[in-house]
Amino acid sequence: MNRPNLTVVTRATTRKLILKSGRCVGVEYSEGGRIERAEASSEVILSAGAFGSPKLLMLSGIGNAGDLGKFGIKAEVDLPGVGRNLQDHLLTFIIHEGKVRAPAGAMALSERLGGRKL
């Protein structure tokens, strides 16, 4: 499908957002060792996940001005909530050889034991 209003760049890493008068108008990214820029004619949608989105915002100068200043980043938009309330939900996998054979399709330890005591 040919869409003149969409450009997809793969194998690139977004470095920061391009701001003009406090408004995001594009992105700066690295691709193949080169720094490139892509500017939007109407809007930029940031979708970099729970860790990547606040990271890009802060690297671009959007966040708590005091926090950004500690890292030598000039605050373009003082927005104290950026990066706050991030809660890591750790998920740990444990592999264990049980004394009883797990029924086919069983996923969790409780399913394996089926209420039986070992």
Q: What is the pLDDT of residues 12-71, one digit of tens each?
A: 999 999 999 889 999 999 999 999 999 998 889 999 988 899 999 999 999 999 999 999
103: amino acid identity, one letter? P
Q: Indicate whether 103 pLDDT > 60.
A: yes
Where does the chain show beta strands of DSSP type E?
A: 12-20, 23-31, 34-39, 62-63, 77-78
The residue among 9 and 86 whose pLDDT is bigger is 9
Q: Indicate whether 82 pLDDT > 60.
A: yes
Query: How many other β-carbons are positioned within 10 Å of the β-carbon of residue 104?
Result: 5
Residue matched to tokens 């995001």? 24
Predicted pLDDT at 12: 93
